[in-house]
A and B are shown apart, each in its own frame.
Chain A
Amino acid sequence: MAKRIDIKDVNIYYGKFHAVDSVTLSVPPRSVTAFIGPSGCGKSTVLRSLNRMHEVTPGARVEGQVLLDGEDIYAANVDPVEVRRTIGMVFQRPNPFPTMSIRDNVVAGLRLAGVKNRKRLDEVCERSLRGANLWEEVKDRLDKPGGGLSGGQQQRLCIARAIAVQPDVLLMDEPCSALDPISTLAIEDLITELKQDYTIVIVTHNMQQAARVSDQTAFFNLAGVGQPGRLVEVDDTEKIFSNPSQKATEDYISGRFG
C-alpha cells in the first residue's frame, strides 16, 4: 500500500517563469510530511507536480524526477491517469460533484473506472466513509446530494472519495483553510489515523497544524521577488520547530516574517 516518494532535482516552470528551483526531498511511507512557507513560494506547485496535476495548467512544465518506490512518474511510458489513480489528492476547497449523491460521490472514482458491481461499491462506500470518520453522520442520507453537507463534512466526503480508489499516497492542498476550527480538528484527527495506511503530504499555511499532524516538515521560501521558490530545509517536525538549522526557517516559524 503506502509507498515512498523521492523528489530529485525538480524544477517547475509556468511558460517562461521559473516557479520552483531544484527541489530534492524524500517522503517516507506511512508518515505525514508538511510543506510550509509564505504564499507564492511554490509549495502547492511542488505538491501538484507529485501527481502530475500541474499538467492541467496550460504551460506548466516539470523537469527532474519524481520517484514512487523507485519508479519515475514522469517516465515516457507512464500514463498520468495511472499516476493520479495511485496518488490521490484533496483540495483546498471541498469540491464534491454537484450532480451526484453522497454515495455516488464516494464511489465516483471506481465507477468511472468501470466498476459496476453494486455490492462491492456499497462496501467500498461504507469503508471509505468510515475511514473518513463520516459514516455515522451520513449513513441515513447516502442518496442526498453531497452539496447539502457542511463544509467540514464535505471535505471529509472528498477525503472519502480520494481514499475509495485505494491510492498509495494522499496529497492534501491546504485541506482545512476553508473550514472552521472544529471541522479542522476533525480533519487533523483523521489525518493522524490515515497515516497508518497512507503516505501523506500536506500543504498548510497553519504552522500549529504542521506541528500537530506531521512527522516531517519542509520549509519553502522565495529567494526574492520574481525569483523561483526553493526548498530551504526539510527535517523532523520536532527539530524544525525547536531547533531549525537555517535562520530563515527560524524567522518564519517565530513569526518574524511571512
Chain B
Amino acid sequence: MSDSTLADRSASAQETPRRARVSHGTLEPSRGGAASSPDTPEGPISTANTAQGEPASTPVRRPGDRVFRGAAVGSGAFIVVLIAAIGLFLLLQAVPALRANQVGFLTSGVWNTTDPNGLQFGILYLLWVTVATSVLALALAMPVSLGIALFLTHYAPRRLARPFAYVVDLLAAVPSIIFGLWGIKVLGPTLVPVAEWLSRNLGFVPLFAPGNVSIGGAGNVFTAGVVLAVMILPVITAVSREVFERTPKEHIEGALALGATKWEMVRTTVIPFGKAGYVSASMLGLGRALGETVALYLILSGTNAAPKLSFFDGGATIASKIALGSGEFNNELTAGAYIAAGLVLFALTFAVNALARTIVAGRKGSA
C-alpha cells in the first residue's frame, strides 16, 4: 500500500461534497411501495424517482426486460379479465332467453325448452337436487376426511404417510365419468337394499320417504350423494392435511408433556389449530360437489315430477341438466336457457369458493 493511496483517501474524505443527496430507487419501485408508508422522511419509495423530479424512466430498463415484464403482467391481468369474461358472456347469452321465459326462473320447476317460442324454464327443482346431493355428500365426506387427514398427519407411520396420501390423491385422478359409471352400474344396485331398509324403517322422516322415482332404480339423490362424497374426499383431505401438518411442534409437545394421550393431544392442539382450514377445505369440497356434472348425469334418473324433498328423489342437478340438454344447443334461445342455469351455478360456486379462500387467507394472516 503506497503513501499516495493513503493521501488519496484522506483527501477524498475531506472533499466529500456536501451536495444534495441523490436517491436511487429500487429496480422494482412497485414492490417497495407495498412495504413503505407515506410518512417516510424521503417520501414513499414507490415515488422516489418522480419525487426527485426525474423522468419516470430513470431506472434504465432494457427492451428485453420491458417486453418480458409486460408479457408477465399482461398474463396476470388476463386471468382477471378471463373471470370477468366468463360472467359477462354467460350473462349476454342468458338475457334473451330469460326475457322470453314464460315462467319464473327461480320460482318454477318446469323445464320445457324444445320450443324456442314457448320457453318455460325454472331451476327450482334443479336447485333442490343440487343442494340435496351436495349437502349429503358433504355430510358424509366431512367426518371421513377429517379422520383421513388426522390419520395421515399424526397417526400413520412416517414412512407410510406419503404413499398413503398418494393413494387418497389417486381418488382425485379417477375421471368423473368413471365414477358415474361405477355409481349407477356397480355401487347403486349394492346400495338399493340399504335404501329400501332406510325407507322402510325411517320412512316417517320426510327425507327418507319414497321420492319421485323408484328406489329400486338407484338413480336417486342417495346414490348420487354417496358417489359425490367419494369424489370430494380427496379435495377436503388434501387441504386439511396441509393445515394439520402446520400445527406448531411446541403446542404438540406441550400437550404431550402434560401427560395427554394422543387423542387428547390431537383434540386440544391439532384440531383447534386446523379448524378454520378444515372448514374452508370443506367449502372447497362443497364447491366441487355443486359443480360436478357427468357422474350425476349418469346416475340420476330423469323425471319431470316435482321432488318430494326426499333422498330418494331423482331428477337432475343444475350441472347435469345442462349436460342432458347438450343435444338441444341448436338455437340461441334454448341454449340461453341452459346458459342462464349455468350462470346461477357459476355464481353459486364463485360465492362458495370465495368464502372458502377468504377463510383460509384470514387464517394465514393470523397464524
A–B contact, 8 Å CB criterion (strictly below): yes
**Residues of A that sit less than 8 Å from B by CB:** 6, 8-9, 11, 13, 15-16, 24-26, 28, 31, 54-65, 74, 76-81, 215-216, 234-237
Which residue from B1, B25, B42, B62 sits with its C-beta under 8 Å from A216? B1
> Which B residues are within 8 Å of any A CB, using their own CB?
1, 5-6, 8-9, 12-13, 16-17, 21-28, 31-32, 34-37, 40, 42, 45, 48, 54, 58-60, 62
Task: Give the docked Cα–Cα distance between A80 and B27 (Å).
Answer: 9
Contact of B17 among A8, A55, A60, A78 (CB under 8 A): A8
**B6 pairs with A15, CB closer than 8 A:** no
A216 nearest in chain B by CB position? B1
Contact A24 B12 (CB under 8 A): yes
Q: How far is the CB of A14 from chain B (nearest CB, A)?
A: 9
A58 B26 Cβ-Cβ under 8 A: yes
Main secondary structure of the interface of B (DSSP, over half): loop
Shortest Cβ distance from residue B98 to the other chain A in the assembled complex, whole angstroms: 49
Q: Is B21 a contact of A76 with CB atoms below 8 Å?
A: no
Query: Is the pair A55, B26 in contact by a Cβ cutoff of 8 Å?
Result: yes
List the B residue with the shortest CB-CB distance to A8.
Answer: B16
- Given A58-B31, A59-B31, do A16 and B37 touch, yes or no (CB 8 Å)? yes
Let me know if A236 and B23 touch, CB within 8 A.
Answer: no
Nearest 10 pairs between A and B by C-beta? Answer: A79-B60, A58-B31, A59-B32, A63-B21, A28-B5, A55-B27, A59-B35, A215-B1, A74-B24, A55-B26
Determine the distance from Cα of A234 to Cα of B1 in the docked complex, in whole angstroms.
13
Check A15–B40 contact: CB distance below 8 A.
yes
Chain A residue numbers with a CB within 8 Å of B59 are 80
Min CB distance B47 to A, Å, is 12
Residues of A within 8 A of B23 (CB): 61, 63
Given the known interface contacts A9-B16, A15-B35, A24-B13, the answer about A63 and B8 at a Cβ–Cβ threshold of 8 Å is no
The 26 listed contacts between A and B (C-beta, < 8 Å) are A6-B12, A8-B12, A8-B16, A9-B16, A15-B32, A24-B12, A24-B16, A25-B9, A26-B12, A58-B26, A58-B34, A58-B35, A59-B26, A61-B24, A61-B25, A61-B32, A61-B45, A62-B24, A63-B24, A76-B54, A79-B62, A80-B60, A81-B62, A216-B1, A216-B5, A236-B1
Instruction: Check B1–A31 contact: CB distance below 8 A.
Output: yes
Residues in B neighbouring A62, C-beta threshold 8 A: 24
Given contacts A26-B12, A31-B1, A60-B26, contact A236 B6 (CB under 8 A): yes
User: In the assembled complex, which residues on chain B have CB atoms less than 8 Å from the CB atom of A77?
Assistant: 60
CB of B45 within 8 A of CB of A15, answer yes
Closest to A81 in B: B62
**Complex formed: what's the CA distance from A16 to B43 in Å?**
10
Q: CA A6 – CA B48 in complex, angstroms?
A: 24
How long is the Cα–Cα vector from A58 to B35 in the complex, in angstroms?
8
Evaluate contact between B17 and A16: CB separation under 8 angstroms. Answer: no
Query: For residue A79, which residue of chain B has the nearest CB?
Result: B60
Alpha-carbon distance between A62 and B23 when the two chains are bound, in angstroms: 6
Kindly report which residue of chain B lies nearest to residue A14, judged by CB atoms.
B35
Which of A16, A77, A216 has the most chain B CB atoms inside 10 A of its CB?
Answer: A16
